[in-house]
Amino acid sequence: MITKTFRYRLLPNKEQTQIIRENAEAARRVYNHFLKEWQRSRETAGLGLSFHYFTRQLQLIYRQKFENRNIDYGLLQNQYYELEKIFQKASRNRKAVIREKTPGYACSLHYGKNYEKFLVSLDNDHISLPIIGKMKYVNSRQREGRLAEIIVTGRPDGKFYLSLTCYATATPLEPTGKAIGLDLGLKDLVVMSDGRKFRNPCYGRVLRKKLSRERRRLSQLENNNIDHYEETSKDGKLIRTAVYRRPLTECRNYQKQRIKAADVEERVADSRRDFEQKLSTYLIRNYDVICVEDLPIGVLKQKRNVAYALADASWYHFISMLEYKANWYGRKVIKVNRYFPSSQLCSRCGYRNRLIKNLDYREWVCPQCGMKHDRDVNAARNILREGLRSCRYETLPSGQAGSSKGRLS
Ligand SMILES: [Zn+2]
């Protein structure tokens, strides 16, 4: 059984928007409160909180703080499952960081487990949830499978989305007998082992300039409003926090600019997401095996690049997109160890050229076999070979060489 998520634009009215935000804020506070308790309990008793204890405490908090407001009790109760999930993950992976949720302009409501008790009705263009009431949504995609989860999210630019996760059945695609290696980058988001390159749609100069301009204006407005700084020391470190003349939520120009900046950011993210969806679908349709670095380390070296801010975590996103689609359609994604020197090896004879560590070498000639390499294509070829080797594919599946130079539409 697999899950698929369908996302729709949600159109709450002004009053509903306010209720969504209040509920998200209440859920956030409950989450943070019990996160601390959970950690304390793990340290002292070696165990997390029980659902029974959680509920009893939550009832007290609810009566004191939330009862006479438009807050959904069940939504707060669901925070238990969120916390349970986080701590389970943390016990499997030692490196996982458990953080409090910080307040922000984005918000989300998770009607996860037990969503049935929340859902009043769901039809072709309306969803009805308790307390929030009946909301219109844009039914842009046909949903399939049985509903498993409902998430309402609000983005900083003021738009709302409805995500419906459903249980669906996997439908394996016909094998194609082809494998491909991918090198991920900034300017070219994906370079393939057959020599094709797909340019990052967000790398455009105009959009980058616009984004940095809007962000600069926003920080100017913020700076104008700072009265002075307060210094506190925590764990021996000096922390400077700004004290505002007026709270930022009351500064109309700041808020206007914030939405403007968020709007550009979201447009960047949207076009990137769209591109990633199309590219990952194309790859999954056409290749049985896709080899990729588990973390594009070459990219991390370019941190100072402006585009990095745009791209940030989205390689992880792209890789996980490939992985879940592979899962749906019976394909295989192989992640190559990040310390594999993919760009330094010659993909023909295996000679290791340590000079190529330097990112300035876009093209190089192998001193041993004389082959001329494009840095990224060579890396993609090495990733392909290493991926197949690590999974004990002795030879490349047939049809690998000279595949068509079709373009992504
Ligand atoms: Zn060589």
Tens digit of pLDDT for each residue in 250-264?
888 998 999 998 888
Quick one: what percent of the chain has pLDDT higher than 70? 89
Ligand 1 centroid – CA 365 distance (Å): 8
Indicate whether 213 and 185 sit together in one domain.
no
Residue 275 has pLDDT above 70, yes or no: yes
For residue 43, what are the CA distances in angstroms to 49, 80, 376? 12, 18, 47
* Distance from the alpha carbon of residue 373 to the mean position of ligand 1, in angstroms: 9
Find the 178 Cα to ligand 1 centroid distance in Å: 24
Separation of 379 CA from ligand 1 center, angstroms? 13
Query: Same domain, yes or no, for 232 and 187?
Result: no
Q: What is the pLDDT of residue 203?
A: 61
Q: Given this model, what pLDDT does residue 406 score?
A: 33
- Please give the pLDDT value at position 332: 93
For all residues of the chain together, what is the average pLDDT? 84
pLDDT digits (tens, 9 = 90+) for 3-33: 889 999 999 999 999 999 999 999 999 999 9
Ligand 1 ion local residues (Cβ < 5 A) = 346, 348-349, 351, 366, 368-369
Separation of CA 376 and ligand 1 centre (Å): 15
Q: What is the pLDDT at residue 300?
A: 58
Say if 124 falls within a structural domain: yes
Q: Is residue 309 part of a domain?
A: yes
- Average pLDDT (92-98) is 78
Q: What share of the chain is helix, strand, coil (3-state, %, to 5)?
A: 45, 25, 35
Question: E strand or H helix at 282, and its extent?
Answer: helix 252-286
What's the structural domain count of the chain? 3
Domain-embedded: residue 403:
no
| Averaged pLDDT for residues 187-203 | 83
Query: What is the β-pairing status of strands 289-293 and 332-336?
Result: parallel
38 shares its domain with 111: yes
Which tokens sit at 55? Answer: 């509920």
Which pLDDT band, with edges at 50, 70 and 90, does 355 fall under? confident
How many angstroms is it from 403 CA to the middle of ligand 1?
23
Looking at the structure, tell me whether residues 138 and 24 fall in a common domain.
Answer: yes
pLDDT of residue 98: 83
Domain that holds residue 352: 179-199+269-390
Does a structural domain hold residue 398?
A: no
Residues 276 and 141 in one domain: no
Structure tokens at 340: 């594999």
Residues 187 and 214 in one domain: no
Q: Distance between CA atoms of 318 and 143, rounded to whole angstroms? A: 23
Distance, CA of 62 to chain centre: 32
SS3 325: helix
Q: Where are the beta strands (DSSP E) in 214-348?
A: 226-234, 237-244, 289-293, 332-336
Give residue 285's pLDDT band: very low, low, confident or very high (50, 70, 90). Answer: very high
* Residues 137 and 239 occupy one common structural domain: no
Share of the chain above pLDDT 90, in %: 34
